[in-house]
A = this chain, B = another copy of it.
Amino acid sequence: MDFSLSPELLALRDKTRAFIAEQVIPLENDARQSRHGPDEALRRELVGRARAAGLLTPHASRELGGLGLTHVEKAVVFEEAGYSWLGPTALNIHAPDEGNIHLMEAVATPAQQARWLRPQVAGQLRSCFAMTEPAPGAGSDPAALATVAVRDGDDYLISGQKWFITGAEGADYAIIMARTEDGGATMFLSDMDQPGITLERSMDAMDACFTGGHGVLRFDKLRVPASAILGEVGKGFRYAQVRLAPARLTHCMRWLGQARRAQDVALAYARRRTAFGKPLSSHEGVGFMLADNDMDLHTARLHIWHTAWLLDQGEQGSYESSRAKVVCSEAEWRVVDRCVQILGGQGVTMETPVMRIFMDMRAFRIYDGPSEVHRFSMARKLVQAAEKDAQAERGVPATIQAVPAAPRPL
């Protein structure tokens, strides 16, 4: 067992930290932001700064122009990037592009990569991932997928409605999940400027950190050639899983950075603000919250590191990434909520960055599977594992079977 980070990784961490402090945080007050995130001009400026610093799209392979980071390396770098809400945009590692790049690199054809992935890795275009649908379609339960793709000669005609499509406004291309005639789910690629794609509206969301906000899309017989199928027909859910486990984990990483930022702001405030004759930080009521925050931050970090390491070992990590998602989304939220409380009135106004983090983060306990769905899925797997153990251990002195029916030592 070894918790040390290599000198190269430490250097990359420090470089990212300095970049965020010097190049990104000074832009946090930039006016080119709205409730739908930074605009394209600000995004390009941020991306340009990351490119100049050699930090752009670090999770893409070196062949594509990235840094080819492992999952553990991403854990360290993405936490640093997340320290500013503009950091993930700058490094081109924000949702959904981060996960889409990962998926495209794993599944897309060379032609598809040349057309969409390479410019995306270079920060020149943006994408969206069109899977979630309004009721009664595919929400928490993807099996209810209602968007259809009907064969028309060599093409497909896609029809349906999608919502909560992050980054939709202004995206250059979309990965679209639709049901094909064989009943399975298939992923399609399409430029966004096609007839047949309508951005019905942008949703007013609590968060404001994703470029392009969250859109409602309508597909009316959108024509897509067979060559724009991503991977194979009918394997859409399998690819969604490929995308999902790492994508969940990168959310945990970025939000850990935001939670650490909130703790730093609260700690600085508690040190210099005086109440009832002593610094806030000397009040146990505040000190306990600072300590709880540190426990939660470290818990989140350890779960991220452990799951990232498992993924690096080639494990699918589906159970562990579920667990990490629930642990991190809830622990990081507690941190930010406590920071709001420590900051008092300033916590619920834009006097400090913490209110912004609070509003940006709430949805994290919901997207990529709300905590409740993950808990139920975890329970099912725990029971299955216990049943398998129980069968394997039949006839031998197994731990559970060896539990005496009625121990009565006292």
Question: Residues of A with Cβ closer than 8 Å to B?
Answer: 1-5, 17-18, 20-22, 25-26, 28-31, 33-35, 72, 83, 132, 135-136, 139-141, 163-164, 203-208, 214, 261, 264-265, 267-268, 270-271, 273-276, 281, 283-288, 290-292, 294-295, 298-299, 302-303, 305-306, 309-310, 323, 326-327, 340-341, 344-345, 347-353, 355-356, 358-359, 362-363, 365-367, 370-372, 374-376, 378-380, 382-383, 386-387, 390, 397-400, 402-410
* Docked complex Cα distance between A31 and B374 (Å): 39
* Docked complex Cα distance between A29 and B371 (Å): 31
The answer on a CB contact under 8 Å between B345 and A290 is no
Minimal Cβ-Cβ distance residue in B for A20? B399
Given contacts A299-B303, A390-B268, A397-B22, is CB(A382)–CB(B290) below 8 Å?
Answer: yes
The answer on a CB contact under 8 Å between B141 and A276 is yes
* Docked complex Cα distance between A21 and B389 (Å): 14
> When A and B form their complex, which 7 residue pairs have the shortest distance between CB atoms, in order from nearest?
A287-B379, A284-B284, A204-B350, A302-B302, A33-B409, A291-B378, A285-B372
Give the chain B neighbours of A327 by CB distance below 8 A: 295, 299
The answer on a CB contact under 8 Å between A309 and B350 is no
The answer on a CB contact under 8 Å between B288 and A407 is no
Name the distance in Å between A34's Cβ and chain B's nearest Cβ.
Answer: 7
The answer on a CB contact under 8 Å between A382 and B291 is yes
Give the chain B neighbours of A362 by CB distance below 8 A: 340, 348, 358
Give the chain B neighbours of A376 by CB distance below 8 A: 284-285, 287-288, 291
Q: List 25 A-B contacts (CB under 8 A).
A: A18-B397, A25-B399, A29-B409, A140-B275, A206-B348, A208-B410, A264-B403, A267-B386, A268-B403, A285-B285, A290-B379, A291-B378, A291-B379, A292-B375, A294-B378, A294-B382, A298-B303, A298-B323, A340-B362, A341-B365, A348-B366, A350-B406, A350-B407, A350-B408, A358-B362
Minimal Cβ-Cβ distance residue in B for A276? B141
Minimal Cβ-Cβ distance residue in B for A260? B399
Residue among A264, A265, A295 with most chain B CB within 10 A: A295
Minimal Cβ-Cβ distance residue in B for A270? B383
Given contacts A1-B4, A350-B408, A382-B267, is CB(A355)–CB(B17) below 8 Å?
Answer: no
Given contacts A292-B375, A366-B348, A372-B283, is CB(A403)–CB(B353) below 8 Å?
Answer: yes
The answer on a CB contact under 8 Å between A3 and B309 is yes
Minimal Cβ-Cβ distance residue in B for A348? B363
Given contacts A2-B1, A399-B264, is CB(A404)–CB(B25) below 8 Å?
Answer: yes
The answer on a CB contact under 8 Å between B306 and A302 is yes
The answer on a CB contact under 8 Å between A281 and B348 is no
13 A-B pairs besides A267-B382, A352-B406 with CB distance below 8 A are A3-B310, A29-B409, A31-B409, A214-B349, A261-B399, A270-B383, A271-B386, A286-B379, A287-B376, A288-B379, A290-B378, A295-B326, A344-B366
Name the distance in Å between A364's Cβ and chain B's nearest Cβ.
Answer: 9
Name the distance in Å between A371's Cβ and chain B's nearest Cβ.
Answer: 7
* Docked complex Cα distance between A350 and B403 (Å): 12
The answer on a CB contact under 8 Å between A274 and B410 is no
